[in-house]
Structure 1
Amino acid sequence: MSRPVRSVLVERPGAFRLVEGPAPEPGPGEVRVAVHAAGVCASDRELFDGTRPAEYVRYPVVPGHEWSGVVEAVGEGVDPALVGRGTVAEGFRACQRCERCRSGEPTLCTTGYAETGFTEPGAFADQLVVPARLLHLLAPEVDLTSAALLEPAAVVAAAVLRAAPRAGERVAVLGCGTLGLLAVQLLGASTPVELLAVDPRARPRELAAELGASRAVAPDRLDGERGGFDLVLETAGAPGTAADACGLARRGGRVVLTGVPEPGARGLDPVELLVNQLSVHGVFGAPPAAWSYAVHCFNHGLLRPEKLVSHQLPLTSFGEAMRLVGSGDPEVGKVLLRPGAR
């Protein structure tokens, strides 16, 4: 007799329980995945605390949008050869019919927001059912545990593709959390003449240097850097980092914003944008092309997410994972839940 499938159900902000039930059956066009590892990020903490905007969450919900696993069953119309393959999957459930989707911008789908782990059952569970069309298959030899970080890597890939780095440019990354450290790796592959990482915390700066930054400094050490960078990628989402990113960019430079600030963040100066002719782009989520790019880089060793993982916990330690992610401890990197660790 098979074991019951466990999942973490957040019933409402601050209230969760571990539930058990039968294995979910994939419907037509779907697959069932045995979850290997699932990352916990700040947006999961927002979901738990009740601070995520109401239009971007639907309670009760099983969280978990960053994950890796192995396909173990397929529904009608899905290639049975997928069974046994290591995989990750896009989280956005775009309609594929609206004008934005048909223009190749599914993260701007106009039919409403739907995403694994926020409005659809996520990966803080033993098993997960997702549409097969969202899968991105992994090379057989890769590490499934670090593959759980491919969702944030895809967001960074979307930012890098939008930024279009060129060899020999001066590049800066603001924030050395998960997104920032992944950005350092992807931007380093474009051979910049300088790759500056900025973070107030010592340990993330050390990791940035290990992962390819030519310099890693605290924000209070940026005197003299203003206006000197061809490309600035902002990942921190702190109240002033979007404005700081624009201040670091040279005249005619490019800025890409990926960090999501809380209300009250300092706005951008329109005069500065106009006079300096800055190109500023925002990235929220990742389209299929960015997922393909991130998975390609991971499969070929250009991304090394394993260095970002600081904690691996069993599914039953969801409460501890929430405490760690919200602790502010600079020694806490990426926290993973491992459903297989009973």
Structure 2
Amino acid sequence: MSRAVLVERPGVHRLVEREVPVPGPGEVRVRVAAAGICMSDRELYEGRRAPGYVRYPVVPGHEWSGTVDAVGTGTDPALLGRACVAEGFRSCGRCERCRYGETSLCTAGYAETGFTEPGAFADHLLVPARLVHPLPDGVDLRAAALLEPAAVVAAAVRAGRPRPGERIAVVGAGTLGLLAVQWLKASSPAELAVVDPRADRAAQALAFGADRALAPTDADGATGAFDLVVETAGAPTTAASSCLLARRGGRVVLTGMFSAGATGIDPVHLSVSQLEIHSVFGASSAAWADAVRAFSLGLLDPGPLVTHEFPLDRFDEALALVGGGDPGTGKVLLRP
């Protein structure tokens, strides 16, 4: 039998047992090693995710790692036994956006593991083999569960194009922000600053390679100081404040998922400063490949971000920690 956390509707879940799923043509079955819980999973559980981006009942879990333990017909048998992760977006591969490599913007309709398709809060997971990214032998699967947010950071780095000797700021020191610090440090910046109000997160950012940490109030003195600003917080004011940190002609990349009512970007400042602004929605196949490569080479080490691990039958305890405000809570994992 195979267990899974099934969210039947907002606020209602149960641990179910079912037959071990059988991969169909072009699919693989993964034995899940670890699955991360993020704020979007809590939004799903509480019914705060936009209706077009969730389908109940659903097994959540879009950040995960595991090992292929069965393959369907027409699938490369060499994948059997391989440690892996896989892209979450079930892109069609045929539309114009997919053909351009922008697979996270697929126009065939939104479908994503853990939101509209069964996810990894389970013993086993079925995914299309074409979305699988194999990992090196002996890899730390606990750390590899964070490759989904790492792929989002990879997309941000692709958009931001950091160059050696630039001054760079990262706004937010959550999972995305700390992974961005690790990645951007490898670009040899003249300065790498992090903006976050939480002293414990600021300290962790310094340990991850940041040169200095600023509280949002201190950041007022850094207006116009940075060549590149990578926003990761998704807080109501951080899109606008990130633009103020960029120099004239600078670049801003927004990765946070903002809610309705967030402070808008001043169009006068935008035009007068000639800012280049990019936003990131998920990660393309190319960004996933970048993240897996960086992880495999040791440029990214997400392991220190993990602070809590729970079995599937303690899902409610694990979920309560995410966004609960405890400064000692970093990434929370389910370990089937």
Bin the TM-score by the shorter chain: over 0.9
The residue number in structure 1 matching 2:183 is 186
Equivalent of residue 119 in structure 1, options 99, 116, 120: 116
User: Is residue 233 of structure 1 aligned with residue 230 of structure 2?
Assistant: yes
Q: Which runs of 5+ in 2 are unaligned?
A: none
Partner of 2:323: 326
Aligned to 2:106: 109
Further displaced range: 93-102 or 155-164:
93-102
- Partner residue, 2:83: 86
Quote the residue 1:139 is aligned against: 136
Match of 1:248 in 2: 245
* TM-score, scaled relative to structure 2: 0.99
User: In the alignment, which residue of structure 2 is the partner of 1:27?
Assistant: 24
Aligned to 1:6: 3
Describe how 1:1-342 pairs up with structure 2 within 5 A.
4-339=1-336
- Structure 1 gap segments, 5+ residues each: none
Structure 1 length as normaliser, TM-score? 0.97
Report how far residue 205 of structure 1 moved.
Answer: 0.7
Deviation (angstroms), 1:87? 0.2
Give, in angstroms, the shift of residue 98 of structure 1: 1.2
CA distance in 2, matches of 1:326, 1:226: 29
How many Å separate the matches in 2 of 1:49 and 1:86? Answer: 32
AA matched with 1:286: A
Which amino acid counterpart does residue 117 of structure 1 have in structure 2? G
Q: Provide the secondary structure at the position in 2 that maps to 1:219.
A: coil
Q: For each residue in 1:161-205, what CA deviation from the matched residue of structure 2 results, as whole angstroms up to 9, or x when unmatched? A: 110100000000000000000000110110000000111111111
Instruction: Give me the whole-angstrom Cα distance separating, in 2, the residues matched to 1:262 and 1:336.
Output: 25
| Cα distance per residue 1:111-136 (max 9 Å; x no partner) | 11000000000000000000000011
1:216: Cα distance to partner? Answer: 1.2
Deviation at 1:76, TM superposition (A): 0.3
Q: Any runs of at least 4 consecutive aligned residues in structure 1 with deviations exceeding 6 A, and if so which?
A: none
SS at match of 1:223: helix
CA apart distance, 1:321: 1.2
What is the CA RMSD across the aligned residues, in angstroms? 0.7
Find the aligned partners of 1:217 and 1:71 in 2 and give their Cα distance: 43
Matched residue of 2:203: which SS? helix
Instruction: Tell me how far apart the structure 2 counterparts of residues 202 and 224 of structure 1 sit (CA, whole Å).
Output: 19
